[in-house]
Amino acid sequence: MKKILLVVEDLFFSTVLRAVLEKEGCLVDCAANGKEAYACLETKTYDLVVARPLLTYHNGYELLNKINQDTELTNTRVMMISPVSNTESISQCLRLGAEVYLKWPIVMNDFLVSVRSLLSDKQIAA
């Protein structure tokens, strides 16, 4: 079973995405901010991190840096979800290692296609 860390501050949005991901058969942990996400990443291994670039405590860019710098997290895939749609934010996330950047509001089908693709690619590579 694939493990996903969902890092979203909005409780409603987090609850909806968690239910969708669990319906897909994934184990989902939720973090409400960058600090909680750091704690999760230090104690567990995840196949995928879904986060927003704008978080309190440690923002999504810092989270991407942590994932890139930690050798134990090198196989962790990252998807960013954000209402920020300027090319600078998108480019920065992709440059720092995010493989998918979806603009909010997301289309649930696009979200699921991206999650499935990231997780199946990981499964094939393993």
What's the CATH number where 58 sits?
3.40.50.2300
Is the pLDDT assigned to residue 126 strictly greater than 70? no
Which is more confident, 88 or 84?
88
pLDDT in the model for residue 61: 85
Domain that holds residue 10: 3-125
Strands (E), 1-126: 3-7, 27-31, 48-51, 77-82, 100-103
Among 69, 66, 45, 46, smallest CA distance to 57 is for 66
Q: What is the per-residue pLDDT across 21-67, written as a single tens digit (0 to 9) for each?
A: 999 999 999 999 988 999 999 999 999 999 987 766 777 888 888 88
Amino acid of residue 112? L
Q: How many domains does the chain have?
A: 1
4 Cβ contact partners less than 8 Å away, ≥ 6 residues apart: 21, 26, 27, 28, 29, 46, 47, 48, 49, 50, 115
